[in-house]
Amino acid sequence: MPASSKEELAEVSQLCNIPMEFLRDPLALEESARIQYGEETNCTLIINGFPTIDMNHGQFESYIPFLLESP
């Protein structure tokens, strides 16, 4: 969801029961690798620091966001 509007993020957050910051934080270029757990939603956000290439824009990206939702 790299080019999502605030409204789209809010809709996904509500429909999927994912904390809003879990959707917003990985979009920030200065975001660092980390693991964060949301107790209310039982979700785990994992942001890895692996270099990747954005083939659409020919730029390096330095993270891969990953979201786990526990049953």
Q: For residue 63, which of 36, 35, 29, 38 has the smallest C-alpha distance? A: 29
- Taking the domains of the chain in order of start, what are their residue ranges? 6-69
Give the pLDDT score at 7. 92
The model's pLDDT over 7-66, given as tens digits with 9 standing for 90+, comes to: 999 998 899 888 888 888 877 777 777 888 888 888 888 877 777 777 787 776 655 666
Amino acid identity, position 45? L
> Reduced to 3 DSSP states, what percent helix, strand and coil does the chain have, rounded to the nearest 5?
25, 30, 40
pLDDT above 70 for 71: no
